[in-house]
Amino acid sequence: MRSHLLFQDKASILDYFNKHGLLVSPKALDIILARSLGDMIPRLISEDIVSAGYVDEKTVKSILIGKTSTPSENFEVYIPDVRVRSSVDDFRNHFVSKYTKLKKIISTSSSMRGSTDIRSVKKTSGEVKFVGMVSTVEKTKNGHKRIVVEDLEDSVSVILMKSKNLADELILQDEVIGIVGNVSTGQGEAVIFANEIIRPDIPFRMIDETSREPVYVASISDIHVGSKTFRRDDFRKMISWIKSSSDEAQNLKYLVLSGDVVDGIGVYPSQEDDLEIMNPFEQYAKLGEYLSEIPEDITVFVMPGNHDSVRLAEPQPVFSQKIAQSLGRNVTLLPNPSTLHLEGKNVLVYHGMSLNDMVELVPGANFETIGKAIEEILKRRHLAPKYGGKTPLIPSPVDYHVIEEVPDIFITGHVHSHALGNYRGVRYVNSSTWQSQTEYQKMMNFSPNPSRLTMFDLNSRTTIVKKFGVD
């Protein structure tokens, strides 16, 4: 009999995890307590999970389902990658990395020439320029916007005036911005009245048009193999087309699968009812069967998403060797996010979990108009500008979500729309799903745009969308 009496209250559970070097999320803790799962804690600290260093809701639910309806040996819930410690230093280092990288980009703007730090700014008069991370955003009662920004040593209040058309500027918490303004020290503490907000942004540029033969990179996402609503016939049609002798198919050299490649298990309550294949390894093996038909001269890149069998928190590591083997010989594994260098072009790939946060933060953005949210991400040169929210992030010492290299193509997914756009010369796509409308989407009155293959020519501005089913 396991000593689960030891694990009946929060303090003893946290203490036990802590002794094993593990961070546990509050939701995971709630589930363990609410369902008296103390006796499964030793399983949670099995070798794989200890190496990953983090226990979240998904881990607990996966093991819970394994315990009640399917042999738990079939579940691989974590791939070790980044060790997480719950210290304040980790968060500090993460935010310092974000700030430093984005400051470097912002400082290249000619408008920021002569910028200084906040401590110096507060002792100055006249026009000032500095870079800060936003910690507070609020409307004043007169309809202006007041924000507080911080750098590595100090913080200051900045007023965005209606009269300068800055009060409606979309400012997100945790984003890093440049400010050009004037200092006022009238009532003691220095306050800045902003004249201009400088974003890291994407420099304008033209898409290269060469006379070379087309070389296509194709993008699909959110395939959800294993779900009853996976569009198997459309997917097969797409594979047949890729194998065909048409010129476009012949010039296809790269295929990107940007996450949620299978439906997984234990991702949401009662998911078992929606599954055709209950075992995640069998789901990956089924996907591997399809991918094995793709001609060998096409490189297939596969990234995980929130439904996949890796750690939920980003950056997500690549799939385990076991999963890689079932996906087949032709596959190159990617972490989430990743930048690919293909034919001299930068292709940024991100599953897109932060889009859930961005649709709530960006006025006018929703799942149908997801391009608005994607452009706000590019403008901020950060894949998850606001820390946390619905996007679980690891406070790694290096912030991998900063968009350091300007992409030529930005591929994302997750929300099951299909949106194509061009922001300052960056072609982007919210890649199409291969899953029909789910019950949840029906409830939310959202219709996905499934069964489309998006193809970007790396040698010209040509973008082709091939549709393999009806909406």
Min dist CB 133 to Fe ion, Å, is 27
Q: Give one DSSP letter per residue of 97-113, joined into a string.
A: HHHHHHHHHHTTSGGGT
Contact status: 178 vs Fe ion (CB under 5 A): no
Q: Which is nearer to Fe ion, 219 or 330 (CB)?
A: 219
Whether the bond between 317 and the residue before it is cis, its omega within 30 degrees of 0, is no
Closest Cα partner for 106 from 180, 159, 193, 171?
180
Contact status: 58 vs Fe ion (CB under 5 A): no
Min dist CB 415 to Fe ion, Å, is 8
- DSSP H/E element including 346: strand 345-349
Q: Which is nearer to Fe ion, 326 or 433 (CB)?
A: 433
Min dist CB 316 to Fe ion, Å, is 11
Residues 245-264 that bind Fe ion (CB under 5 A): 260
Min dist CB 343 to Fe ion, Å, is 28
The conformational region for residue 201 under phi > 0 = left, psi -120 to 50 = alpha, else beta, is: left
Cα distance between residue 366 and residue 368, in whole Å: 5
Stretch that binds Fe ion, among 29-37, 187-195, 301-309, 375-383 (CB under 5 A): 301-309
Q: What are phi and psi of 118, to 5 degrees?
A: -65, -40
Cα distance between residue 180 and residue 163, in whole Å: 16
Q: Where are the alpha helices (DSSP H) in 224-263?
A: 232-242, 247-250
Q: Which is nearer to Fe ion, 151 or 222 (CB)?
A: 222
345-349 and 252-258 strand pairing: unpaired
Min dist CB 414 to Fe ion, Å, is 4
Q: Which is nearer to Fe ion, 253 or 390 (CB)?
A: 390
Burial of 460 (0-12, 13-18, 19+ CB in 10 A): middle
Min dist CB 3 to Fe ion, Å, is 38
Residues 397-456 that bind Fe ion (CB under 5 A): 414
3-state secondary structure of 50: helix
Contact status: 305 vs Fe ion (CB under 5 A): yes
Residue nearest to Fe ion (CB): 414
- Please identify which residue in 97, 219, 283, 306 interacts with Fe ion, judged by CB under 5 A: 306
Q: Which is nearer to Fe ion, 57 or 260 (CB)?
A: 260
Q: Which is nearer to Fe ion, 132 or 335 (CB)?
A: 335
The count of residues in the chain is 471
Q: How many residues bind Fe ion (CB under 5 A)?
A: 4
Min dist CB 307 to Fe ion, Å, is 6
Q: Which is nearer to Fe ion, 97 or 221 (CB)?
A: 221
Which residues sit at the interface with Fe ion, rule CB under 5 A? 260, 305-306, 414
